[in-house]
Structure 1
């Protein structure tokens, strides 16, 4: 018997929640973003009215204003969004304990073998109605036999819709869609697929697995599995205590970054925020990831695994800067940049000494960071800073730890 999997996606989540609290902007184009005056931030979410102006999530605030001069931009209020996220999950948990979050606004549900004999479409419509009535926001829900096609279904028709992609009709519904509609087929993968003449999910499904493996390595097997409806990954049981998989920050610079020194300043500010949060929450990490977007909105990510687990500010900053220098060629100025650390472990876990590092010097830097944390907690983030941040106050004058962005949970 096929599983019955739902994927529920809150429509324009951040913007929808803001419109609930601000009745005067409900009928206006609304976006949630950062500091307009400082050109600090990007569009995180927009309502349906703003979408008519072709405003894109991820674009700079000033670009969105060029498209829609009357756009109302409100600052993000993450505690408010977390509260509504918890409320939606309480509703999902009335139907199953197999509820797997995918960020704040999305969840998979496995409702196979419903105790009341309802099919997936009945449950999806009931959930949709309850969320609209009880919370005042809408969801789009996909119903399918696996997680990948369920998510494809929730994206298929928006807003406030329920779409079923079954085993009998997935080729008709899913295969004509662009390959980029498939989960984790980003811009870089899309361009590579197009070079091989693969434009749709159906094209991808019909490509021999051996060929995809040759082009993409193990990731090619995943693409083949996703496109052919063969994904068997389970929906995880809901755990009310969220697992922290990564800690990161990103920012849109107040001006385009023109050289490595500009990037160094931004990365040091971001690395300081990440390292402080690691230490506060009792973690160390080992895999550093950077994300870069130029002023034409072309972006890429790169990652590197360190030899030792760390929560030392300077080590995270240096690793991020090294990644950047190795992979960016300065064809265009940079609009935004981010850095995160994954592969987290509790900081109390014993770590193996690295023969290629001065462990005494690392211990000294750890103590120094702890002292700096105490000073910043008492006197503010700007009480003490490395000299590099004093060379350009325009670039370094922001506090990502205070205004951190919540990042989606990964699928894998």
Structure 2
């Protein structure tokens, strides 16, 4: 039986959500990402792509290419909310789904042909997502992940494309080698230096030559160029870690600023973990200096998501890792060794007394969000409940 793998991709997802929230942005050039010159483009509208703007491009370059673009920092809570809505619609209507990113999904629809008509059903599901969310979505359907993803990219924006098993080679052959997923800039340039510009030429290259040049990746490139990809659709992957980091507009040694940012990042991560029902048993601090040297240090702790507990460990790690002679470009935190369940509290320690306060703070954040109004209410709650010992909890 021939496999039937669908790939669904939400077009310009961050931009699409921003336009749902503010209809005045429709039709205008939009860039979502870091607003400083050191920031990068997270997403951009098709209006900006005509000027050469692309995702992962430095914001400074994007501004130069499209000076009239509206630049938005982004509302990641809203993006997560809409992504979850789409995920729920797809998983309720498909037996095997892999969510590969916040806006991409692989669906294994093998065997559904005899009951529904796979292509018809995939189109109906795409239409359902568009109708119920207002977001645009592209759809590709083929015999494997690689070809279905390429098909999706070829029919954007808002298109749909089916490539049957007999059509795979004819479909792939004229396309640029840069269309192959995970074929990066260095690999692409090396192939072009070898005289290989399109996928058809790559598919006819001797496998041993590619393996000598690229090692194990040589076989992967040859197989994908020939439409061979047996990678399964993996329905679930448990969360292993969560992280946050900040790149500064200007390199700094401001110890007060650095401490404050570490505390804020820790509080945000702890809140996210509590909402997901996880505890963290490992903390990692990351520092990148102005010369781009990057250093990390980690410590194992008893699993918890209490801000005041983890903040103490974070600040201690920072003191041990930080070289006070060097300017810092980036700082970040990663919480790992995640375990499901609620933390076991000891009725005789301070944590058990503060637990109700965390519940109140989380309830305020859930109701009002991490905005100015929510933070003001949290500050009042902390002042009334624990005026002396909970300063670090306020975001």
Q: TM-score range by the shorter chain?
A: 0.5 to 0.7
Which residue does 1:408 correspond to in 2?
Answer: none
Unaligned runs of 5+ residues in structure 1 are 263-267, 285-309, 326-337, 350-369, 403-412
Of the structure 1 ranges 3-12 and 64-73, higher mean CA displacement relative to structure 2 is found in: 64-73
Aligned to 2:105, the other structure's residue is in SS state strand
Which residue does 1:80 correspond to in 2?
Answer: 78
Which residue does 2:54 correspond to in 1?
Answer: 56
Unaligned runs of 5+ residues in structure 2 are 254-258, 336-369, 371-395
Check 1:3–1:372 CA distance in 2 against 1; reply closer, same or farther (3 A cut).
Answer: closer
Which residue does 1:374 correspond to in 2?
Answer: 312
Match of residue 122, structure 1, among 110, 120, 123: 120
Check 1:117–1:269 CA distance in 2 against 1; reply closer, same or farther (3 A cut).
Answer: farther
For 2:265 and 2:193, how far apart are their aligned partners in 1? 38
Q: For residue 164 of structure 1, report the CA deviation from its aligned partner.
A: 1.3
Check 1:271–1:164 CA distance in 2 against 1; reply closer, same or farther (3 A cut).
Answer: farther
Which residue does 1:14 correspond to in 2?
Answer: 14
For 1:348 and 1:110, how far apart are their aligned partners in 2? 39
Aligned to 1:223, the other structure's residue is in SS state helix
Q: Does 1:26 align with 2:26?
A: yes
Q: Does the 8 A contact of 2:143 with 2:164 survive in 1?
A: yes
- The normalised TM-score by structure 2 is 0.68
Check 1:340–1:389 CA distance in 2 against 1; reply closer, same or farther (3 A cut).
Answer: closer
Aligned length: 320
For 2:312 and 2:247, how far apart are their aligned partners in 1? 28
Q: For residue 251 of structure 1, report the CA deviation from its aligned partner.
A: 5.9
Structure of higher CA gyration radius = 2
- The normalised TM-score by structure 1 is 0.65
Aligned to 2:166, the other structure's residue is in SS state coil
Match of residue 144, structure 1, among 101, 122, 142: 142
Match of residue 170, structure 1, among 157, 160, 168: 168
Q: Which has the higher contact order (CA 8 A, sep 6+)?
A: 1
Check 1:270–1:41 CA distance in 2 against 1; reply closer, same or farther (3 A cut).
Answer: farther
Superposition RMSD on alpha carbons, in Å?
A: 4.3
Check 1:399–1:158 CA distance in 2 against 1; reply closer, same or farther (3 A cut).
Answer: same
For 1:88 and 1:116, how far apart are their aligned partners in 2? 26
Check 1:396–1:117 CA distance in 2 against 1; reply closer, same or farther (3 A cut).
Answer: closer
Which residue does 2:238 correspond to in 1?
Answer: 243
